[in-house]
Amino acid sequence: MLTWPHAQGDWRELLTEVEPVYLELVRQISRFEAVLITAWDEAHRVHIRSLLDRAGIAQDPVTIHRAPSNDSWTRDHGPIGVLDRNGNLRLLDFTFNGWGGKYPAALDDRLTRELHARGAFGDLLLERIDWVLEGGAIEVDGRGGLMTTTRCLLSPLRNPDLGCQALEAQFRELFGIERTLWLENGYLAGDDTDSHIDNLARFCNPSTIAYTACDDPQDEHYNELKAMEAELGAFRNADGNPYRLVPLPWPEPRYDASGQRLPASYANFLIINGAVLLPLYGVPQDEQAITTLAGCFPDRRVIGIDCTPLIRQYGSLHCATMQIPRAP
């Protein structure tokens, strides 16, 4: 699922740079699975179809629905799929408040319900959840473990009445989670999500975590990410053993025109059917990142996509996408 950038939002001045990234995302994802795109309106839908045609991208795996949006970060306003113990799949629609009220979000918060009403998700049941949760804020290992950060989920601008214990109870009820793994350290300069986990540490399988590691003692992130590394080392998987930890390369800094550092992270990869899409940033560490991640996914192709335009709006490849599971 992708929400296409449009001229009514923050991408207005960057559309010519960012749309080629979205075209490449569709090109690669549609080789392995269906793609659902949300367009602002009918004219925008026609524009997207024209872009896909000119790029030679097959139309059959791509469906475009119309629903207005504030922004394009589908990971955070899209639905979260849950498979219950009886094998039934449903979609959970959490409240989205623009990362703690930082940006307008009313359209994004309604987007999933609008798409569901238009039949975009077939006959899947959609359940509204009345507390704030962004998809980029959580990461699950598939065996009862959920990893997140205190900076994000305990922010008073999201769910001021929900502390650690209350959130863990919600995770047990909604996701079947048995172990919530809280990171108190770790951040990226330029990240405006209050330290989403998908820029810091990711599960590659039930026993492996790939994580953002800084090897430059002079960098402002060094101490924080070292402390995060120690926290990851203390986590235990479903078998009671430490996770295998795989440090990802530290990309050299990227800055915008005003000199603000941008949140470039190789942890923001996307797992799809048969492949892993890896964000690249036009820096020497890109090739090392491909090699490192390939070692974490021996049964999948690792495909790099230049995401430099995406980080100019402080997100990357995983942030721009949301997977919709197929019902059994």
Q: Which of the residues are catalytic?
A: 319
Please give the full DSSP string across 248-297, using - where no structure is assigned. EP-PPP-B-TTSPBP---TT--EEETTEEEEEE-SSTTHHHHHHHHHHH-
Question: Do residues 266 and 249 make contact, with C-beta atoms less than 8 angstroms apart?
Answer: yes
DSSP β-bridge partners for residue 180: 146
Instruction: Please say whether the beta carbons of 96 and 77 come within 8 A.
Output: yes
| 145 phi/psi in degrees, rounded to 5 | -105, 135
Task: Give me the helix-helix angle, 42-54 and 15-29, nearest 10°.
Answer: 70
Q: Check if the beta carbon of residue 30 is closer than 8 Å to that of residue 65.
A: no
The span from the CA of 37 to the CA of 63, in Å, is 6
Tokens of 183: 């990171």
Helix or strand run (H / E) with residue 230: helix 222-234
Distance between CA atoms of 172 and 193, rounded to whole angstroms?
24
